[in-house]
A and B are shown apart, each in its own frame.
Chain A
Amino acid sequence: MDFSIPDHFRRTMERLMKRHLLAAGLLTIATSALAETPVLTVLTYDSFTSEWGPGPAIKAGFEETCGCTVNFVTAGDGAAVLARLKLEGATTDADVVVGLDTNLTADAAPLFAPIAATPNTLPVPFADARFVPFDWGWFAFVYDNTKLTTPPKSFEELAASNLKIVIEDPRSSTPGLGLLMWVKAAYGSRAPQIWADLADNIVTVTPGWSEAYGMFLQGEADMVLSYTTSPAYHLIAEKDASKSAALFDEGHYLQVEVAGKVASTDQPALADAFLTYLTSDAAQTALITTNWMYPANMPAAGLPAGFETLIQPGKSLLLTADEAQSLRAPAIEEWQTALSK
């Protein structure tokens, strides 16, 4: 006796799936038939391509002059982008990768081709044979200035205070890793002690920036690890001046977001042109109020109104890509040990 209903369901499902595959196949044929213009495949993190992200403006701007089609392919965040690229290996379709940061570039370098240097206006000297910076920000602790009137001026003051902070996990998020590098760059071998002193200030450690920032806005903590530019969003987009970033005397660590040309690209000229466009005035202006970061190459028009209210760290910290790579594992272990006590 056959158990026929599941079979029947399965046959229906098979029919449906066949139809789907057929449709997918037709779509491929249709797109490749249309693809007489060259296609530049850009691998980036997914919020870059969202409607309020920089992606749409940059795609439209570049397509005006390149005689090509820009096709975005996305993965979760900078780390996921690199993981995706490594998974695909030499079979990748990606021509350009946008959105790694300097904590990841040493790892990624073998997959990228050398490129011509472009000028940048970063607060520290920065040059890389394979990666061009497109925006950057200082990490900072953001607080509500209506509730906290005298913010701490250093990690030591923060550790000595009763303030509650929420931070991101360096094992799962790029800001979390940035904070780890910040403490390491500022305090070197004293870093474990700083972490041990901070332990009672840390309310919790979140998997990503979104959870941490959400908790801070909901009042779970007095301060959150974010960027000096975070208050600009609230000020410009929400007309809310209640958020500030605390200025630390030991200096602020930088997150520098970079783009590069994939070594296996079949569109090297287009890829170069795209990287050049990314640092042009048009693209740089679009990035400021979509990514809420500083432009890597200051456009002629300067920064939008509101940015002048942000704190200006006197000292910028940035480890080289190689230092960041070799420090990551031991620094995570130090951090884990200090906070597990």
Chain B
Amino acid sequence: MANRPVEIRPALGLALFIAALILGSAAMLLLRAESWRLAPADWSALRFTVLQAALSSLVSATLAIPLARALHRRRFRGRSLLTRLLAAPFVLPVVVAVLGILAVFGRSGPVNAALAALGLPPLSIFGLHGVVLANVFFNLPLATRMLLHGWQAIPAERFRLAAALSMPQSAQFRHLELPMLRAQMPGILTTIFLICLASFAIALTLGGGPKASTLELAIYQALRFDFDLGRAALLALIQFALCAGVTIAAARLSLRQGFGAGLDRAAPLPAPDGWRAPLDAAVITAAVLFLGAPLLAVIAQGLPGLTHLPPGLWQAALRSLVVALVSALLATVAALTLAQAAARRPALWIDLAAMLPLSASGLVLGTGLFLMLHRFVPPAQMALPVTMLVNATLTLPYLYRLILPEARQVVADYDRLTQSLGLPAVSALRFVILPRLSRPLGYGAGIAAALSMGDLGVIALIADGNGATLPLLVQHLIGAYRMEQAAAASLVLIGLSFGLFWMFDRIGGWNADA
């Protein structure tokens, strides 16, 4: 019982599978390529990609600190509703969200109307700042939620002790919160940086022109228009290298937090009053406005069309739901396996395997799998299974990042106890691990399911023509000028994504033994 070498094996197998899947798909492209050359414009695309991703992750993570802190220490009506709704931007399909952001910050939106009323010049959303703003809209909620988990993982006893010792806020921050932030921030910054690295539609739509070209766009162009497989594969390899570099750097920078185990009960915290109370209220209000307004715009645009939904909507919705549920299940099991292994025996290879999918282009992955499989399986039959597999792979890193910090905590706090009790692995998982991880697990599974609902990068190349998924249907409707129906179908899509997310998050909440 003293050492548990066996547990590494499933994780090792999984890591190898992920590496084979992702590097293998790029290798398939290289094998079929006729030339291996980058275009001169690719280097400026690389620069812009890194710049916008770095700015976006920095801004998102920085803004998340006061927001998560305020949400953690304040109790108000609707707080739990708000923390759930926080995820909504993250699960929106990009095309829909961009139109929502434009409705608020665009030329005819309320922000510019207010500026005009004050006699100020209009603000253009297009440019690097627009790209960062949209990325922050998507990722601030994720960063906040990750930090919130971090704050919740600090045992309440420590805060009570600090209060009993009359520790000033600054000392409490230095001794309790700063170590937590130092443990969490590298992971959060890395995750958001890597998410923004692969963004394509946001940067292009809001970037204002070809200056704002990203690597993902170059891949898209190479695969779709130029059919230059070699260039696409090289670009994919550059993305992998970036991802690996950033993940390794983050692993070096991460410090472990060591608060020890508390009584493992959530208890209301002593919250500072005085000027800090209205400040927290202002932070929360600003976040609600920033994240809520584009959402409201999307909902308002979708409502009129709900009375005449397009034909085929519910079949598409059902197809998307099945894809989302299976993808979420696969991703959750995989992430739990990897995170448990990494928590017991920290290893760079596990981190790398779990983060690698973030840098993978859905298009390269889909194309690579297509090249591997099309001789054996008719494309029409592989569309849905391949989509599920790719979605599960692409959402794995989010789950892993969400679970890992708390998995480490559980191992640090309870592993010796579990072992000294000789608790069998099943019981340990059931009574020790799952209850303590259920909050991030539920949240992560919800995110994975919702992202899989919204994802359409993969299916575009291999769809079978017999059945569209819901995001594809939205795309078709816009393509056929049916904007009102498209808006209504988007609303259904958002409702379902969010419903799935809500369901998983609630399940996680119920099982949390706190």
Does B38 lie at the interface of the complex (its beta carbon under 8 Å from any beta carbon of A)? no
| In the complex, per-residue mask of A302-341: 1 if CB is within 8 Å of any chain B CB, else 0 | 0000000000000000000000000000000101100110
B298-335 interface mask toward A, CB cutoff 8 Å, 1 = contact, 0 = none?
A: 00000000000011100000000000000001100100
B106 lies within 8 A of A207 (CB): no
**Taking CB as reference atom, which chain B residue is nearest A335?**
B210
| Nearest 4 interchain pairs by C-beta | A219-B108, A74-B465, A210-B478, A171-B221
Q: Give the shortest distance, in Å, between B307 (CB) and chain A (any CB).
A: 15
Given A5-B426, A7-B10, A79-B225: A336 and B210 within 8 A (CB)? yes
Which partner residue on chain A sits nearest B434 by CB separation? A5
Q: Which residues of A are found within 8 Å of B225, using beta-carbon distances?
A: 79, 171-172, 177
Tell me which residues across on chain B come within 8 A of A71, comparing CB atoms.
465
Is there a chain B Cβ closer than 8 Å to A10's Cβ?
Answer: yes
Question: Is B381 within 8 A of A340, CB to CB?
Answer: no
Residues in B whose Cβ lies below 8 Å from that of A214: 95, 99, 478, 483
**Contact of A204 with B207 in the complex, beta carbons under 8 Å:** yes
Residues of B near A73 (CB, < 8 A) are 379-380, 464-465
Q: Which residues of A contact B481 (CB under 8 A)?
A: 213, 230, 233-234, 237, 292
B235 at interface by CB-CB < 8 Å: no
- Contact yes or no, B211 A340, CB < 8 A: yes
Chain B residues in the interface with A (C-beta under 8 A): 1, 4, 6-7, 10, 41, 44, 95, 98-99, 102-103, 106-108, 124, 126, 200-201, 204-211, 213, 217, 220-221, 223-225, 227, 310-312, 329-330, 333, 336-337, 340, 367, 370-371, 374-375, 378-381, 385, 424-426, 429-430, 460-466, 468, 472-473, 475-476, 478-483
Contact of A218 with B224 in the complex, beta carbons under 8 Å: no
Can you name 14 extra interface pairs (CB under 8 A) apart from A1-B1, A47-B479, A74-B465?
A3-B6, A46-B460, A46-B468, A49-B465, A50-B480, A76-B463, A79-B225, A204-B126, A210-B475, A213-B478, A214-B99, A218-B103, A219-B107, A340-B209
Partner of B460, one of A76, A93, A213, A217: A76
A47 and B223 alpha carbons, distance in the complex (Å): 20
Point out the residues of chain B lying under 8 angstroms from A204, CB to CB: 126, 205-209
Known contacts A4-B426, A84-B461, A336-B210; decide if A203 and B126 are in contact (CB<8 Å): yes
Residue of A nearest to B107 (CB): A220
> Nearest Cβ distance between residue A139 and chain B, in whole angstroms?
16
Whether B429 lies near A172 (C-beta < 8 A) is no
Complex CA–CA separation, A140 to B225 (angstroms): 23
Closest beta carbon of chain B to A173's beta carbon, Å? 9
Within 8 Å CB of B102, what residues of A? 215, 218, 220
Residues B429 and A5 in contact, CB atoms below 8 Å apart: yes
Query: C-beta contact mask, A190-219 vs B, less than 8 Å → 1, else 0?
Result: 000000000100111111011101110111
- Hey, which chain A residues are within 8 Å of B333, CB to CB? 6, 9-10, 13
With A51-B310, A169-B210 as contacts: A211 and B95 at CB distance below 8 Å: yes
A5–B10 Cα distance when bound, in Å, is: 11
Q: Binding site of B, secondary structure by majority: helix, strand, loop or mixed?
A: helix
| B95→A210 contact, CB < 8 A | yes
The reply on A83 being an interface residue by CB < 8 A is yes
What residues on B are CB-neighbors of A76 within 8 Å?
224, 460-461, 463
- CA A51 – CA B465 in complex, angstroms? 11
Contact B464 A74 (CB under 8 A): yes
Contacts of B466 in A (CB 8 A): 72
User: Can you list 12 pairs linking A and B with CB atoms under 8 Å apart?
Assistant: A3-B6, A6-B337, A46-B472, A73-B379, A74-B464, A74-B465, A75-B461, A76-B463, A80-B460, A202-B209, A209-B479, A333-B41
A270 interface residue (CB < 8 Å to B): no
A52 close to chain B: CB less than 8 A: yes
B108 lies within 8 A of A207 (CB): no
| Smallest CB separation, A179 vs chain B (Å) | 13
A205 touches B209 (CB 8 A): yes
A75 to B456, CA, bound (A): 12
Cβ of A156 under 8 Å from chain B: no
Q: Is A87 a contact partner of B370 (Cβ separation < 8 A)?
A: yes
Which residues of the other chain, B, contact A2 by a CB distance below 8 angstroms?
Answer: 6, 425
- Minimum CB–CB distance for A112 against chain B, Å: 15
| A82 close to chain B: CB less than 8 A | yes
Knowing A1-B4, A6-B333 touch, does A220 contact B108 (C-beta < 8 A)?
yes
Q: Tell me if A86 is interfacial: C-beta within 8 Å of chain B.
A: yes
Contacts of A217 in B (CB 8 A): 483
**CA A203 to CA B310, docked complex, whole Å:** 32
Query: Which residues of chain A have C-beta atoms less than 8 A from B201's C-beta?
Result: 207, 211
- Which residues of the partner chain A approach B126 to less than 8 Å between Cβ atoms? 203-204
Please measure, in the bound complex, the distance between the C-alpha atom of A210 and the C-alpha atom of B99, giving whole angstroms. Answer: 11
Within 8 A of B (CB), among A48-107: 49-53, 71-76, 79-80, 82-84, 86-88, 91, 93, 107
CA distance in complex: A269, B100 (Å): 50
Choice from B10, B208, B385 contacting A3 with Cβ under 8 Å: B10
A213 to chain B, nearest CB (A): 7
- Docked complex Cα distance between A336 and B340 (Å): 48
User: Known contacts A47-B480, A76-B460, A169-B210; is A207 also within 8 Å of B205 by CB?
Assistant: yes
B423 to chain A: closest CB distance in Å? 10
CA distance A209 to B206 in the complex (A): 15
User: In whole angstroms, what is the CA distance A112 to B246 when docked?
Assistant: 46
Kindly list chain B residues whose C-beta atoms are within 8 Å of the C-beta of A13. Answer: 329-330, 333
Q: Which residues of B contact A234 (CB under 8 A)?
A: 481
Contact A1 B425 (CB under 8 A): yes
When the two chains form the complex, which single residue of A3, A210, A230, A340 contacts B7, counting CB atoms closer than 8 Å? A3
Q: Which residues of B contact A205 (CB under 8 A)?
A: 204, 207-210
Q: Which residues of A lie under 8 Å from residue B425 when comparing CB positions?
A: 1-5
Q: Is A28 an interface residue (CB 8 A)?
A: yes
Is A24 close to B, CB under 8 A?
Answer: yes
Which residues of the other chain, A, contact B461 by a CB distance below 8 angstroms? 75-76, 80, 83-84
Chain A 165-179: CB-based contact to B (< 8 A → 1; otherwise 0)? 000010110000100
CB-CB under 8 A from A107, the residues of chain B are 227
Given the known interface contacts A204-B209, A339-B211, the answer about A72 and B465 at a Cβ–Cβ threshold of 8 Å is yes
Min CB distance B427 to A, Å, is 10
B465-A87 in contact (CB<8A): no
Q: Mark A247-291, 1 if CB is under 8 A from B, else 0.
A: 000000000000000000000000000000000000000000000
Whole-angstrom CA separation of A80 from B462 in the bound complex? 10
Complex Cα distance, B374 from A274, in Å, reads: 26
